[in-house]
């Protein structure tokens, strides 16, 4: 069954190559973009399938030489290597054939809130915000703050940001949940280690076609942007507050000096929140998952612990030696190794659940 599916994918890939070589396609930018995206998605599958077929051919050729007196020993070694490659590539192909998350290529709405720990929880939330900003820069994503509520000491009570870039959701979707930190706080004079927490919510940005918002249902207010302690950072009313009257959803955006930019970003966040709420209404399981993302913001339900005294980050969804990472690298935005491990863990669980058997 899997080989039949792979053969069809290879045929489709070859057809795409021919179509993309047609000059007429280059006159239609949308069609070119669509076909190029499909080809890019199929490329790793086709490459692994070609390797698998090559390993099968090598194994067949080696079997034919097993009885040869001069070549028998070399044939046995080649057969063993080819069979090993076949087994490895079979697992790789099963993984590649897993159904894609339909949101994987979408942009992300990222929300960070301080949890337990008072000011230290807010300072940790600020560290997480910086971590994601540095990671976005590494990946070539564009991360822009929509709203930021800071404390007097530079901590973050709440931050909302948009992350734009190809595959943003696929890289950040596992970040949702309670993040716990263990360290000596800057506010602690006795040197005692304190445990604090912050929560992260991750939502796919809703597309324009996914949701219709009637302008009559919106109340749009302007006000002056303010920084920590309520000090005004500018004298113009450039900040925007949008209230969706039917649901009571309120979004504020004050990071930009331009009222237009603030309104545009606030609408993106509002749309994402309403889209997420609609999904929750339609599917109770999604609602449970959404609520489970951040839990209560206390130490229970944690997905990850940042242990500064022991110089490690532990992701509690992983097992064995693969669950610990260098804290300096992680906190400075080098998240790819951790995210790759979580992605592989998810794919392995789905394979064990039978999703890759078709």
CATH number at residue 234: 3.30.160.20
Domain match, 7 and 78 both: yes
How many domains would you assign to the chain? 3
What is the percent of the chain where pLDDT is above 90? Answer: 53
**103 in a domain, yes or no?**
no
Domain boundary among 282, 310, 343: 282
Domain match, 193 and 117 both: yes
Which DSSP category does 107 fall into? Answer: -
Measured CA to CA, the distance from residue 85 to residue 55 in angstroms comes to: 6
Domain match, 180 and 226 both: no
More confident: 92 or 286? 92
Domain match, 198 and 112 both: yes
Domain match, 83 and 219 both: no
Domain match, 179 and 64 both: no
User: Within 173-258, where are the H helices?
Assistant: none
Domain boundary among 39, 69, 96: 96
State the CATH number of the domain containing residue 162: 3.30.70.1660
The mean predicted confidence, pLDDT, of the chain is 86
**264 in a domain, yes or no?**
yes
- What residue numbers bound the domain in which 203 lies? 108-209+286-352
Domain match, 297 and 195 both: yes
Measured CA to CA, the distance from residue 220 to residue 63 in angstroms comes to: 75
Element of type H or E holding 177: strand 177-183
Q: pLDDT (tens digit, 9 = 90+) per residue, 66-88?
A: 888 888 889 999 999 999 999 99
Asked if residue 284 has pLDDT above 80, the reply is no
């Amino acid at each position: 069954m899997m080989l039949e599916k792979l053969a069809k994918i290879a045929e489709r890939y070859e057809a795409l190559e021919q179509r993309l070589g047609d000059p007429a396609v280059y006159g239609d930018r949308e069609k070119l973009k669509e076909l190029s995206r499909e080809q890019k998605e199929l490329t790793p599958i086709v490459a692994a399938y070609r390797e698998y077929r090559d390993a099968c051919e090598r194994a067949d050729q080696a079997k034919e030489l097993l009885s040869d007196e001069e070549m028998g020993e070399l044939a046995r070694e080649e057969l063993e290597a080819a069979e090993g490659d076949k087994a490895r590539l079979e697992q790789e192909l099963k993984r590649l054939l897993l159904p894609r998350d339909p949101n994987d290529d979408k942009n992300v709405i990222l929300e960070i809130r301080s949890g337990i720990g008072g000011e230290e929880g807010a300072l940790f939330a600020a560290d997480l915000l910086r971590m994601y900003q540095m990671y976005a820069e590494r990946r070539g994503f564009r991360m822009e703050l929509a709203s930021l509520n800071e404390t007097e000491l530079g901590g973050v009570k709440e931050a909302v940001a948009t992350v734009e870039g190809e595959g943003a959701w696929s890289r950040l979707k596992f970040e949702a949940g309670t993040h716990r930190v263990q360290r000596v706080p800057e506010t602690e004079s006795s040197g005692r280690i304190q445990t604090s927490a912050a929560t992260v919510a991750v939502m796919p940005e809703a597309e324009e076609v996914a949701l219709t918002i009637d302008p009559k249902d919106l109340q749009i207010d302007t006000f002056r942007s303010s920084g920590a302690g309520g000090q005004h950072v500018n004298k113009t009313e450039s900040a925007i507050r949008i209230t969706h009257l039917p649901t009571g959803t309120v979004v504020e955006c004050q990071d930009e000096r331009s009222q237009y930019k603030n309104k545009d970003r606030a609408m993106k966040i509002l749309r994402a929140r309403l889209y997420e709420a609609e999904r929750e209404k339609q599917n109770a399981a999604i609602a449970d998952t959404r609520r489970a993302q951040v839990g209560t913001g206390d130490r229970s339900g944690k997905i990850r612990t940042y242990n500064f005294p022991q110089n490690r980050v532990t992701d509690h969804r992983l097992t064995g030696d693969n669950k610990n990472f260098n804290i300096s690298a992680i906190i400075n935005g080098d998240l790819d190794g951790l995210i790759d491990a979580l992605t592989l863990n998810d794919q392995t669980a789905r394979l064990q659940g039978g999703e890759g058997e078709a």
